[in-house]
């Protein structure tokens, strides 16, 4: 037997790989850590373009369909910043806590509710050039202090609409159900299954 179809998630983030593998459970999801290092182009200011270029690079180098995503936090008071540059807020070398501190400092004069949203664009590119794309949004607000120790990035200061807890206080399953990435991955998984029947 040949086994389930293989697909590469263009990331070495094992948590993200497990999340996508749960969603696309009829495929064997591989992470970049299973392949030689790939040089990806520098990311720009467009989520979908970043995801598409990264997926296309991985598909070309590995020879398997590849999925990539790009996401960011968009804060209303900051006119949508940090957006696609969320992971680079404050420059290289900062950890998650350092970026959180910068964000909270930028918002020190912003009144509640400090509306924001997480946005994710995802793309799947096949070696023959076919492309499927999706996106997901999670709306909410920025808290005044970090809460919880789960998740990563800005999760401790983001509370989704309808929730009483910060993202960093939610279980993995709860976060998957309402997160921007979970929504984008589920929509993309539906398109991938339609393009590559497994039965």
The model's pLDDT over 10-67, given as tens digits with 9 standing for 90+, comes to 988 877 888 899 889 889 999 999 998 898 887 888 999 999 999 999 999 999 999 9
The second-level CATH assignment, the architecture, of 6-195 is: Alpha-Beta Complex (3.90)
Please say if 176 is a catalytic residue.
no
| CB atoms closer than 10 angstroms to residue 54 | 24
Catalytic residue among 25, 70, 176, 190: 70
The model's pLDDT over 174-192, given as tens digits with 9 standing for 90+, comes to 998 999 999 999 999 999 9
The model's pLDDT over 101-142, given as tens digits with 9 standing for 90+, comes to 999 999 999 999 999 999 999 999 999 999 999 999 999 999
Position 198 pLDDT exceeds 60: no
Q: Provide the pLDDT for residue 99.
A: 94
HSE on the CB side for 187, CA within 13 Å?
18
Q: Provide the pLDDT for residue 92.
A: 82
| Separation of alpha carbons 182 and 89, rounded Å | 23
What does the angle CA 44 – CA 46 – CA 51 come to, to the nearest 5 degrees? 90
Confidence of residue 197 (pLDDT cuts 50, 70, 90): low
Domain range annotation of the chain: 6-195
């Amino acid at each position: 037997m040949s086994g389930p179809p293989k697909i590469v998630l263009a990331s070495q983030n094992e948590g993200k790989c497990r999340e996508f593998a749960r969603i696309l459970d009829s495929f064997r999801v591989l992470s970049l850590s299973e392949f030689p290092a790939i040089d990806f182009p520098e990311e720009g200011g467009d989520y979908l373009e970043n995801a598409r270029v990264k997926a296309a690079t991985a598909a070309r180098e590995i020879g398997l369909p590849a999925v990539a995503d790009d996401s960011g936090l968009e804060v209303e008071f900051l006119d949508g910043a940090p957006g696609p540059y969320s992971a680079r807020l404050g420059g290289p070398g900062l950890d998650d806590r350092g970026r959180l501190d910068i964000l909270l400092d930028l918002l020190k004069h912003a009144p509640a509710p400090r509306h924001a949203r997480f946005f994710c664009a995802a793309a799947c590119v096949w070696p023959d050039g076919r492309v499927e794309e999706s996106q997901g949004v999670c709306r909410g607000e920025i808290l005044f202090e970090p809460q919880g120790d789960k998740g990563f990035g800005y999760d401790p200061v983001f509370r989704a609409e309808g929730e009483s807890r910060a993202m960093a206080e939610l279980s993995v399953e709860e976060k998957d159900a309402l997160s921007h990435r979970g929504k984008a991955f589920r929509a993309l998984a539906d398109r991938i299954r339609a393009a590559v029947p497994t039965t």
